[in-house]
Amino acid sequence: MRIALQSGIPMREIPADARAGANWRMIRTEAEAHAVETEWLRTRFGEGEPMSPGQAIARQGVVSFGSSLLHAGNASNALSAAVLVVLAISGGLAWFGTLSVAFLFASLGAILVEASRLIRSAERQALGQLPPAIPRAHVLGWVIDATFGLLILASVPRLFGESLLSWMFPPTMLMMLLALVPRVVSGPATRLAGDRALLGVVLAFAAGFGQVEPIVEVLAVALVILGMALPLRRKG
């Protein structure tokens, strides 16, 4: 401003509407910075298209705690690391036979993946960066799917004489349908179909009653019916 004034550039007042809200604010204290960041996150993520339960929880967490994470720096990296830690705990629980809790930890990992996706998008917007060809959240989502598949296999004992392909078929088919159906059809039900957090809760209850395999088969059939009944997603 000093250099501009010394150069003789005339001053022009910024319109009042441009100075309102979180887009333009004079920050004087640390508390004001946190308040503005929270308001910006709420404006960006608080409202929008309908969400699945897992997405809603992740967005509420980002709106509530995202300001502190962004202020600390490396927020998305910290959340990505947290995803890996949670999945490692899930794998350890499955190793010791506590499959219900293992599925719940996998569900928590799915929520953290969605939260890391939102935080990373906020970081990119603040830094003016374009999204990469393969976002980190997509890679973590694949890891979540692989974890669910392995947990399902851990819940379903391999029968004597059963082929490896036959044993792996139900969880593989379920996870492939969960990835495919939301891509090709539209409708409110597809948000639930793609919600890994909700899947983890359902499988946790099924594991508690020793009914993971029939639940997996029912979910796979339901996804096929869903894909046949709902309208195709429009391209473009």
Question: Which of 20-24, 80-84, 202-206, 227-231 is least confident?
Answer: 20-24
Q: Would you say residue 145 lies in a domain?
A: yes
In a domain, 141, yes or no: yes
Token pair recorded at residue 202: 């359902």
User: Over the stretch 137-156, which tens digit does the pLDDT of each residue have?
Assistant: 899 999 999 999 999 999 99
Block residue for tokens 């969400």: 51
Domain holding 152, by residue range, is 46-229
- Arithmetic mean of pLDDT, 150-164: 90
Mean pLDDT of 120-147: 82
Q: How far is CA 193 from CA 28, 67, 83, 233, in A?
A: 46, 30, 21, 15
Residue 191 corresponds to which amino acid?
R
Q: Is the predicted pLDDT of residue 128 greater than 80, yes or no?
A: no
Q: 195 — phi, psi (to 5°)?
A: -85, 105
Confidence of residue 133 (pLDDT cuts 50, 70, 90): confident
pLDDT category of residue 189 using cuts at 50, 70 and 90: confident
Q: Considering only residues 36 and 187, tell me which one the structure prediction assigns the higher pLDDT.
A: 187
The answer to the question of residue 111 being in a domain is yes
Report the C-alpha gap between 5 and 34 in whole angstroms: 32
Spatial separation of the C-alpha atoms in residues 151 and 155, rounded to whole Å: 6
Whether 78 has a pLDDT exceeding 60, the answer reads yes
Domain tally, the chain: 1
pLDDT at site 212: 94
* Mean pLDDT, rounded, for 105-124: 88
Asked if residue 29 is part of any domain, the answer here is no
Asked, for residue 24, whether it belongs to a domain, the answer is no
The pLDDT of residue 73 is above 70: no
Determine the pLDDT at residue 9. 78
Q: Is residue 125 part of a domain?
A: yes
pLDDT digits (tens, 9 = 90+) for 2-54: 666 666 778 777 776 666 655 566 666 666 666 666 666 666 666 666 678 88
Number of alpha carbons in the 13 Å side-chain half-sphere of residue 42: 10
Take residue 110 and report the two structure tokens written for it: 């799915």
The whole-number pLDDT of residue 103 equals 97
Q: Is the pLDDT reported for residue 59 higher than 90?
A: no
